[in-house]
Amino acid sequence: MTTTTTPLRPGPTESSFLLVDGKLVPGAGGVFDILNPATEEVIGQAADATAQDMDAAIAAARRAFDETDWSRDVQLRVRCLRQLQQALLNHLEELREITIAEVGAPRFLTSGPQLELPIQYLGYYADLAESYAWRQELGVAEPMGVRTNRYVLKEPVGVVGAITPWNFPHQINFAKLAPALAAGNTVVLKPAPDTPWCAALVGRIIAEETDIPAGVVNVVTSTDHSVGAQLATDPRVDLVSFTGSTATGTAVMTAAAQTLKKVFLELGGKSAFIVLDDADLAGACTMAAFTVCTHAGQGCALTTRLLVPRERYDEAVKATADTMAGLRAGDPDSSRTICGPLISARQRDRVEGYLRLATEEGGTIAAGGGRPADKEHGFFIEPTLVAGLDNTARTAREEIFGPVLVILPHDGDEDAVRIANDSPYGLSGEVYGTDPDRLAAVVAGVRTGTLGVNGGVWYGIDAPFGGYKASGIGREMGVAGFEEYLETKLVAEPAS
Ligand code: NAD
């Protein structure tokens, strides 16, 4: 291990490398450009891996799992995770600037889930690995008359293929890397082509500033989605941990079935923000507007359907539209910005397509609806409120992934729950109200993996996160997110 902390300046020489078998190597496909989504300027290049590079990365991860002590030596893993956490903290301000430039992440979010909190996952999972009951006694029993002592050993699954999206790259990369490594697995990380640096720079820090053995972590950046798909089909991979769209997740699960590997999926959402008739309507509408504008709506768990009492619909539309009009899309570099740019021209085209669809379906644009007039460059969209639709509209059912809120009327608590559940997704949600019994009934009725009540924040290192229905399979974070990366071995021996 070298002890230098060379400044991380992304560019052709510093971040255009894959991490394969402990070495920083160029991609066989050359390099590809990275754009700053707020300026549309090329800010550097990343290595473009081919199938051959991915093959080498999987081979290295397999070898590191099968032939080194990593999977058995908890203390080595704990030390390496803490060492990586400290190395990342040594580069915190450089990583912050790179994350803002590459992801278009508003600066304030880098103090939370876009950077600083994910780095803490390493310490959390190091602590958990240290205190975890790797051997769990089941006690003596007499199955079929044989007096037997039984215990369970918790063991790593093996080689993990981690495939991640671009919207919260550090959060999702570390929510996979930290528990998978703490549990004793080896990993091939394949980040999204829109945000390769967030992963590539972590790869460089691992190679240059930690004792993590060669092959334990491999980072493979590529423009070719089929390179990621190899992780699903290759029999040397034991588990695919995927975060991204439901369509891609379905493809990953289908491909993984051919080799019967474990699949962990965190997918899309179209979550409901329910306002009951005894809630502070204006306060709830303001919160719903802020939520959907955060990181320009590019969050799977952001609430994107606002359900308000029908008799106060017009009042709610006005309150929400007024707030959204004040939340202008802005430079992510500014600490005052909440709504930055979308990640790419492709994503902006997609959002604009939904805005056209909303009016074709009979909706009205109550706020925003287009590109901000004051922005010549950057993939910005104004915070937008769509009114006048019901929950059968595609605009109300499909994930848009932009700062677009659809406001829908409901006819009471049961109807609100029915509308919230009338969705292929079940990722998150919010309910605002006063009566505790009515709030409890809504909490019990909504079929989602997370739910906030009156502004309670469900995000946290120790809080299991994941989806019902088409929003995923499994839970990330917390103890549940650690156990996703473990196998269970039952051992039985004659009792004395
Ligand atoms: P995406 O599904 O297009 O891509 C995700 C990743 O999968 C990328 O790394 C991509 O290169 C890779 N990929 C694409 N095709 C593949 C294939 N056939 N096999 C294997 N890998 C493949 O998603 P995106 O556009 O990058 O991200 C946005 C989506 O992610 C949204 O739907 C959002 O809801 C979802 N998301 C979900 C969560 C969650 O935790 N539930 C979190 C963040 C984002």
Residue 114 in this model has a pLDDT that exceeds 50: yes
Q: Calculate mean pLDDT across residues 219-233.
A: 98
In this structure, the residue with its CA closest to atom 31 of ligand 1 is 245
pLDDT by residue (tens digit) across 365-380?
999 999 999 999 999 9
Residue 15 in this model has a pLDDT that exceeds 70: no
Q: What is the distance, to the nearest Å, from the Cα of residue 116 to the centroid of all Cα atoms in its chain?
A: 15
pLDDT by residue (tens digit) across 35-47?
999 999 999 999 9
Identify any residues that bridge with 154 across adjacent strands, giving them in sequence order.
488
3 state SS of 494:
strand
Q: Calculate mean pLDDT across residues 445-471.
A: 97
Residue 3 in this model has a pLDDT that exceeds 80: no
The predicted pLDDT at position 12 comes to 40
On whether the CB atoms of residues 341 and 38 are closer than 8 A, the answer is yes
In this structure, the residue with its CA closest to atom 15 of ligand 1 is 225
- What percentage of the chain has pLDDT greater than the value 90? 96
Q: Calculate mean pLDDT across residues 2-18.
A: 59
Identify any residues that bridge with 405 across adjacent strands, giving them in sequence order.
385
Q: Which atom of ligand 1 is nearest to the CA of 222?
A: 11
The predicted pLDDT at position 364 comes to 98
Alpha helices for 31-141 (secondary structure H)? 51-67, 74-90, 92-103, 116-131
Q: What's the Cα-to-Cα distance from 185 to each of 70, 162, 241, 454, rounded to whole Å?
A: 8, 11, 12, 39
The predicted pLDDT at position 16 comes to 86
pLDDT by residue (tens digit) across 332-367?
999 999 999 999 999 999 999 999 999 999 999 999
- What percentage of the chain has pLDDT greater than the value 70? 97
CA of 338 to the centre of ligand 1 (A): 23
Set 209, 266, 430, 483: catalytic member: 266
Give, for ligand 1, the residue of 164, 243, 348, 423 to mutate: max count of ligand atoms closer than 8 Å to Cβ: 243
Q: How far apart are CA 492 and CA 109, in angstroms?
A: 50
pLDDT band at 13 (very low <50, low <70, confident <90, very high): very low
266 in catalytic set: yes
Q: Which amino acid is at 46?
A: A
The predicted pLDDT at position 275 comes to 99
Helix (H) or strand (E) holding 367: strand 364-367
Tokens of 170: 């550090």
Give, for ligand 1, the residue of 189, 230, 300 to mutate: max count of ligand atoms closer than 8 Å to Cβ: 300
CATH of domain 18-267+471-493: 3.40.605.10
300 in catalytic set: yes
The residue length of the chain stands at 496
Q: Class assignment of domain 271-459?
A: alpha beta
Q: Calculate mean pLDDT across residues 269-280.
A: 98
Q: Is 20 exposed, middle or buried, given 0-12, 13-18 or 19+ CB atoms closer than 10 A?
A: buried
In this structure, the residue with its CA closest to atom 37 of ligand 1 is 267
Tokens of 136: 């769990």
CA of 319 to the centre of ligand 1 (A): 34
Q: How far apart are CA 311 and CA 434, in angstroms?
A: 18
How many other C-beta atoms can be found within 10 angstroms of the C-beta atom of residue 78? 18
Arithmetic mean of pLDDT over the chain: 96
The predicted pLDDT at position 14 comes to 58
The torsion angle over the Cα atoms of residues 444, 447, 448 and 450, rounded to 10 degrees, is 0
Residues with CB under 6 Å of ligand 1 are 163-167, 172, 190-193, 225, 228-229, 232, 243-245, 248, 251-252, 266-269, 300, 399, 401, 427, 467, 471-472
pLDDT band at 269 (very low <50, low <70, confident <90, very high): very high
- Taking the CA atoms of 79, 84, 86 and 87 in sequence, report the sign of the dihedral they define: positive
Tokens of 210: 């930690």
The predicted pLDDT at position 9 comes to 55
pLDDT band at 413 (very low <50, low <70, confident <90, very high): very high
Q: What is the distance, to the nearest Å, from the Cα of residue 394 to the centroid of all Cα atoms in its chain?
A: 24
Residue spans per domain, the chain: 18-267+471-493, 271-459
pLDDT band at 168 (very low <50, low <70, confident <90, very high): very high
Q: Calculate mean pLDDT across residues 399-427.
A: 98
The predicted pLDDT at position 397 comes to 98
Q: Which atom of ligand 1 is nearest to the CA of 247?
A: 2
